[in-house]
Amino acid sequence: MLKLTKLSIISSVLVFSIASLDLQSDEGLIPLEHFACKSNFNTFKLSPNGKKLMIINTIKDNVCDIEPDKSRRVEESMRFSGMMILDLETNETRTISNGSADDAVWGAGWLTDSRIWYQPRVKRGSKIDAYVKFAMNIDGSKKRIIEPGSRAYEAVYNVAHNDPDHIYVFNNSRRPSIMDYYKVNIHTGRRQVIAFGPDIGDMKGKAILGQIADPDGTPIGMLIDEGIERTLYEYDRDAKEWNVHFKFKCQEPGFVPIGTYKGKLVVSGSKFSPSGELIEENDTNALYLYDTKTREFSDKLFQDPDYDAGGLTGSCRETDANSYEYSASSEFAGMSYWSMQLEHVFLDETSETAYYSVKALFPEDNVSIVSSSLDSKVVLVQVSGTNNPGDIYLVDFNNGTVKLLFQRSPWLDRSKLVRAKQVVYKARDGLEIPSLLTLTKKKTKHKYMVIMPHGGPNTQQWIGFDGWAQFMVNRGINVLQPNFRGSTGLGASHYMAGNLEWGKKMQDDLTDAVNWAVENGYADKDRVCIAGASYGGYATMAGLVFTPDVYRCGINAIGVTDQQQLLDNFARKASRFQSWDEEPLLEWGDLSTEEGQRYAKEISPILHIENITAPVLVLHGSNDNVVPPFHAEDLISKLKSLGKTYESMFQAYEGHCVTGCGELAALEYLQIQEDFLNKYLMN
């Protein structure tokens, strides 16, 4: 049976005067197990009237207990979720699924105040298809199949609150790569075709980047990634056909639709004339209203001068962690995007008022509204930060109460975690590098520092919880995490400045970070280590081979060591799962040219191991399909043959992960790092 205690639900009321959650802490160590343990997975969804709460819950006490069997990675019970409905007025609950292996759910949602949909987990060999979806009243009555199940993908894209008998779904059962649009009766399951997706030929080397529909469910457009080209297809509802509306290329100006508002599209990017000429080129993506019939843009609604507000950075890469919010009428209400913290932009006044009323309670934290009643009088809020893995609160503006419902990883003592600082330093060519600086609370003999470049490399370092960084800070080491050139979310020029700069200017940015930290008193010059995963692992090795005098040690986790083998026939390998063929040729190098081959040899750390003077720790998963294990195996062989100081660990059941691995593997990764840092950085 589901129990509220399983959810760590806390019923105390904090009547809009929450005391500071940033408590003073002692200098005690957080056990390594607390960084390795997996927290329960829970989803909370409010009914449209805000009177009931759907809870999809991992059926396990949310405590830290390491699964001892590496092949299982986590406890078997963490693989399944149950579901219950909580009446917020009476505190009565109704169990829909008990979360056992025989009675679990994959997903669920509200259709009306009294009716829900859910997808059960179906055992192999069952007569019911594994992808079937049901609708039923919350009292268990009038249960109907609304999706008969298939191997196709189907998702709800609109719940029509002005038509409570229907929902809108897209489905790819007709053609695996393209979605068709359907209107589904939530009582009978009867479905009606609204529109077929566009006929755009062979989808090899292509992918859907996004699609958008009117509030009435009729599609408006679909954005397709075709190599380095982006094509926006427009749906003509009268002719029932799709046409090319606009084309642009990766690393050239373009725009992306992200919602509808009062009969127009909300788009993110640059501004064009009706005939397609560029009028206003924006380095950071700006928001406009766009009329698809006249092809006219409004005046600029919003632009952050330093960070992209949604869209594609440089018309190429998706910006990290965008979240779009929609009103009761399914129109665009606002969005969040990352600077070095979570930022919000609103078009809808009701949504804006609700958000800032909640944000005032947690002024120093990232705050996201994850579910809301239609009138925004009752909201579910996620509060998180560099010193908080995430808490869920129920905020009721009707009676002025705030209730803490759930804490992610409650065993992590928030008072011993550290809030990061946002800093900016200048690279040697004047480029500003926004970064996160997390300073240890521990008193230490020296000012130890780890430079931690993020993975990708075309992603963004933002101000969220990072267990790897917190582990190091808790052990007495300052951590600096730069958004070096090539990072996304900081505008086209910052991203494109990383083109063909692996091991070169991208690496200079990290050396400049070390110099800045030393000059500003955050690090002792001879007490700096470099550590990173994936591209960060590459940057670790590049730092050790190209600037050996800068670092005392290095930790290379799942890192690239051979650029030639990374790029060899990369397009064919990438096309197995996406259209991502040609972007890396612009960013990372092109082996089809002599110049590209020379570049790959020049920047591949495996070819320059003789330069290493510092100890290196190599961590890799034997099942890594992103950066295959030979990158680590060849590195270790070369280190050994040259008599270099190194340590290594392979995890037999793991892939492309460091802290996100199975619990015991993550714990062992942390333990060997702690020993390595104590031996080579802090001795």
| Of 73, 129, 83, residue with least CA distance to 103 | 83
Give me the mean pLDDT over the 522-528 stretch. Answer: 97
500 confidence band (pLDDT: 50, 70, 90): very high
Q: What is the pLDDT of residue 173?
A: 80
Share of the chain above pLDDT 70, in %: 91
Is the model's pLDDT at 590 over the cut of 80?
yes
Q: Give the per-residue pLDDT at 80.
A: 84
In this predicted structure, what is the pLDDT of residue 322?
A: 66
CA 212 to CA 265: how far, in whole Å? 9
Q: What are the structure tokens assigned to 359, written together?
A: 């944000």
pLDDT band at 424 (very low <50, low <70, confident <90, very high): very high
271-272 and 241-249 as β-strands: parallel, antiparallel, unpaired? unpaired
DSSP-derived secondary structure letter, 103: B
Q: Which long-range contacts (CB under 8 A, 24 or more apart) does 233-241 make?
A: 233/198, 233/200, 234/292, 235/195, 235/198, 237/195, 240/195
* Most confident stretch, 210-214, 332-336, 492-496: 492-496
How distant, in Å, are the alpha carbons of 24, 71, 456, 544, 593 from that of 605? Answer: 44, 32, 17, 9, 20
Q: Identify which has the larger pLDDT, 620 or 568.
A: 620
DSSP string across 7-48: GT----B-TT-PPPS------PPPPHHHHHPPPPPEEEEE-T
Q: Is the per-residue pLDDT at 333 higher than 60?
A: yes
Question: Structure pTM?
Answer: 0.90
Q: What string of DSSP letters covers 228-270? A: TEEEEEEEETTTTEEEEEEEEETTS--EEEEEEETTEEEEEE-
Residues 649-677 have a mean pLDDT of 95
pLDDT at 274: 95
For residue 576, the one-letter residue type is R
Give the whole-angstrom CA distance, residue 107 versus residue 105: 6
Domains, the chain: 418-562+604-680 (3.40.50.1820)
pLDDT of residue 570: 57
Q: What is the mean pLDDT of the chain?
A: 88
pLDDT, residue 574, reads 44
Tokens of 503: 């091991």
Kindly state the tokens that stand for 444: 């230490």
Q: Give 162-175 pLDDT, tens digit per residue.
A: 788 888 888 888 88
- pLDDT given at position 390: 94
pLDDT for 250-283, tens place per residue?
999 999 999 899 889 999 999 999 999 999 999 9
Q: How far apart are CA 88 and CA 65, in angstroms?
A: 31
Cα–Cα distance between 133 and 186 in angstroms, integer? 11
Tell me what pLDDT residue 475 has: 96
- The average pLDDT across 384-411 equals 93
Please report which confidence band the pLDDT of residue 26 belongs to, taking 50, 70 and 90 as the band edges: very low
Q: Is the pLDDT of residue 469 over 60?
A: yes
Nearest to 661 by CA among 467, 529, 479, 465: 467
Confidence at residue 177, expressed as pLDDT on a 0 to 100 scale: 79
Using CB atoms within 10 A of its CB, is residue 331 exposed (0-12), middle (13-18) or buried (19+)? middle
Least confident residue range of 157-171, 350-364, 584-598: 157-171
Nearest to 546 by CA among 494, 596, 610, 486: 610
HSE-CB at 481 with a 13 A cutoff on CA atoms is 30
Q: Determine the average pLDDT of the residues in 203-219.
A: 82
CB 167 within 8 A of CB 111: yes
CB contact set of 464 (below 8 Å; sequence gap of 6+): 366, 384, 385, 386
Q: Is the pLDDT of residue 34 over 80?
A: yes
Give the largest CA-CA distance in the chain: 74
Is residue 223 within 8 A of residue 210, CB to CB? The reply is yes
Instruction: Give the model's pLDDT for residue 644.
Output: 97
Contact 452, 481 (CB under 8 A): yes
Tally of CA atoms within 13 A in the half-sphere of 366 that contains its CB:
26
